[in-house]
Structure 1
């Protein structure tokens, strides 16, 4: 290679410079540098600010030729080159010169773009939890083909051989905070989609969900199916059971398919609706349906069991059937669940 460089230098100094740029990036790739190191080295080589932006995550990296992160705003115009991977533009690289472009800028940007694509393909994007909502929507959409979904997953940092579970979330807490808690030290991405938080994770620890979060966890099926399951499970979440696995719903999941008008016209559901103005009765019925025991319901409500018994007797009269009867308990559970699903 050195002999070739010497021969080319005798013919064309620009060709020699271009070859040195190629060798420079070949060396960086052999060293398996990450994106910040790659950008920093490029800035030093170009003797101006170099930048990288990934569309999928919105990540922007800028370094000055002195090796420090660039803080000054970029000039209004500078040389740019797209980063392509599998014939798709995934980002942009650029050089921020205040004067005219250098003779080797085009070669340098081409090699930098190729190197960034290699790093992204090898390691995935930098480990950040929040992701581009459009990219996440591409993963969970039933309209996406397998190739587009696989490409989007790779750009988000997931490998093809690891199943991805989708979690639908409602919470005032930041999605990145929730994602980091339930899937520590493993790939996890989050984004808001259609007024619902979406978390893509390779593993989920339900015990690590913080208080105040309601979530529906889909199975490790295809991401689009897991997303539908997660949204369905989220509809079944309550204050007493805020985290719901779709797999644990069993036949209850069929209630989500009941037409709203049919559910609303059901006598038991209509009776629950008439109780909606009395939160104490609803809380009592919810606790009893969730525990199946008068005493455990009393413990949940922090009341004496005799007080809960009196409430349940009155609620039974409102509903028109005996709650302590096994059949009555089943009817109450189904009616309460169906009534809740009307609001989702």
Structure 2
């Protein structure tokens, strides 16, 4: 190709430049660069800011001429071209060139878009996030043999040498949207099993779950064990901690193994159940258990500390547990465990219930 460009340069400098653009992007695609490397190479080659945006994930990359992320705010795009994959527009590439577009910008952006499409197909999230529930169930089921599990994961698009994490989700948000948010630029599959959503992914960003979503994240490399851990972690979620990673539970995970009848027979748990008749009292106890400080609990509840102190006195009488006095440390531990055990009794919180 380069030899052809040299011969054609004697006839038409524009043709030579266009072919050099084609050779440049063909080389990048042969090297299997990802979107970030592609944007960086394009910015240096075009000698202006180059950008990529993928619609499905909302991910945007803007790289300056020096190969570093471009500063905000972005300049108006001088030229824009859609990225298409399987005849569907999945994103956009653009250049932010001061003044008029360059003579080769049209060719450059066409090849830039083609290379971006190839990178998304190779490294980006699967084109169809929602998966066949039967296939997902086969991948995470405890009764599946390893050969069947491996085949299901292959059919779902996961490489054999990568660990697959499992997330149990409760939300009114569409699962495919949640998957795209928490697994940007990574393979992810989603399915609804009964009333619990399942996400399978090689990596999960727990900070990207939208408000209102409850999620338990499994830690094990084996999908079946990760699924069991994810369901357990989901049971520990609440308004103050909507996303829980199983690895952070430690010994608390053992509380999920306590039989329901045994928990109900415990005096402390029964006392919490009686306390639940007054939601404000439960909220106050949760805030105090979370902070271990009367003043910090008051800040959390947006109340004066004296009001919280009076509530805690009443709560302590109801529970029969000293929360703030000399035995307060032991009482606080009992209250925390009882409150957690009571939360785990909620059948809605138990995906297996």
TM-score normalised to structure 1 length? 0.63
Q: In structure 1, what is the Cα distance between the partners aligned to 2:155 and 2:265?
A: 47
1:339 aligned onto 2:342: yes
Gaps in structure 2 of 5+ consecutive residues: 1-29, 31-85, 88-121
Q: In structure 2, what is the Cα distance between the partners aligned to 1:282 and 1:192?
A: 32
Q: In structure 2, what is the Cα distance between the partners aligned to 1:124 and 1:219?
A: 23
3-state SS of 2:197 partner: strand
Q: In structure 2, what is the Cα distance between the partners aligned to 1:124 and 1:298?
A: 46
Q: In structure 2, what is the Cα distance between the partners aligned to 1:332 and 1:268?
A: 7
Q: 2:332 aligns with which of 329, 332, 338?
A: 329
Paired position in structure 1 for 2:206: 206
The structural deviation recorded for 1:124 is 11
The structural deviation recorded for 1:221 is 2.1
Paired position in structure 2 for 1:308: 308
Q: Deviations over 1:179-221 (max 9, x none)?
A: 1111100001110112100000111111101100111100032
Paired position in structure 2 for 1:296: 296
Q: After superposing the two structures, state which structure 1 stretch, 130-139 or 298-307, moved more.
A: 298-307
**Aligned-residue CA RMSD in angstroms?**
2.0
Q: In structure 2, what is the Cα distance between the partners aligned to 1:160 and 1:297?
A: 48
Q: Which runs of 4+ in 1 moved over 3 A?
A: 122-126
Counterpart mapping for 1:71-90 below 5 A: none
Counterpart mapping for 1:279-290 below 5 A: 279-290=279-290
Q: In structure 2, what is the Cα distance between the partners aligned to 1:192 and 1:220?
A: 21
Cα 1:124/1:158, change in 2 over 3 Å: farther
Paired position in structure 2 for 1:218: 218
Q: In structure 1, what is the Cα distance between the partners aligned to 2:249 and 2:144?
A: 27
The structural deviation recorded for 1:126 is 5.2
3-state SS of 1:154 partner: helix
Paired position in structure 2 for 1:261: 261
The structural deviation recorded for 1:125 is 10
Given that residues 125 and 186 in structure 2 are in contact (C-alpha distance below 8 angstroms), is that contact kept between their aligned partners in structure 1? no
Q: In structure 2, what is the Cα distance between the partners aligned to 1:123 and 1:168?
A: 24
Counterpart mapping for 1:155-194 below 5 A: 155-194=155-194
3-state SS of 1:203 partner: coil
3-state SS of 1:192 partner: strand
Counterpart mapping for 1:46-61 below 5 A: none
Q: In structure 2, what is the Cα distance between the partners aligned to 1:261 and 1:148?
A: 37
Paired position in structure 2 for 1:152: 152
Given that residues 125 and 184 in structure 2 are in contact (C-alpha distance below 8 angstroms), is that contact kept between their aligned partners in structure 1? no
Given that residues 123 and 157 in structure 1 are in contact (C-alpha distance below 8 angstroms), is that contact kept between their aligned partners in structure 2? no
Which has the higher Rg, Structure 1 or Structure 2?
1
Q: Deviations over 1:29-84 (max 9, x none)?
A: xx9xxxxxxxxxxxxxxxxxxxxxxxxxxxxxxxxxxxx98xxxxxxxxxxxxxxx
The structural deviation recorded for 1:141 is 0.2
Paired position in structure 1 for 2:69: none
Counterpart mapping for 1:14-29 below 5 A: none
Q: In structure 2, what is the Cα distance between the partners aligned to 1:335 and 1:126?
A: 43
The structural deviation recorded for 1:224 is 0.3
Paired position in structure 1 for 2:240: 240
Gaps in structure 1 of 5+ consecutive residues: 1-30, 32-67, 70-121
Given that residues 138 and 149 in structure 2 are in contact (C-alpha distance below 8 angstroms), is that contact kept between their aligned partners in structure 1? yes
